[in-house]
Amino acid sequence: QKEVEQNSGPLSVPEGAIASLNCTYSDRGSQSFFWYRQYSGKSPELIMSIYSNGDKEDGRFTAQLNKASQYVSLLIRDSQPSDSATYLCAVNMGTDSWGKLQFGAGTQVVVTP
């Protein structure tokens, strides 16, 4: 059973602080990793994708990947109330399952003014 694990939260973050979200995955063959943001009642929208070990930055968001530890994280700098949402980690299901992603259950983030 291929699994993607996230802390469900809620993760309460003061406005302006850094939110740190973690995700672990079980399939060592996974090569593609994604972070989606989902507002309540809305559909998931892509924030970041990462494919290589290390950090990838996009505005206030930084994704970090460590394939040896099977760990991917998302940092949100200068958190804003508009960042309050559920963040879904998604991992591709290995080379024999092209196109299919396994999603974590999501971490709810609440940014408090």
Partner 1 sequence: DAGITQSPRYKITETGRQVTLMCHQTWSHSYMFWYRQDLGHGLRLIYYSAAADITDKGEVPDGYVVSRSKTENFPLTLESATRSQTSVYFCASSDGVLQETQYFGPGTRLLVL
Q: Which of 88, 108, 109, 111 binds partner 1 (CB under 8 A)?
A: 88
Site for partner 1 in 39-68 (CB under 8 A): 42-46, 49, 51
Q: Which of these, 23, 27, 13, 1, lies nearest to 72 by C-alpha position?
A: 23
Q: What is the dihedral of CA 107, 108, 109, 113, to 10 degrees?
A: -170
- Least separation in angstroms between residue 77's CB and partner 1 is 23
Summarize as ranges the residues that interact with partner 1 (CB under 8 A): 32, 34, 42-46, 49, 51, 88, 90, 92, 98-101, 103-106
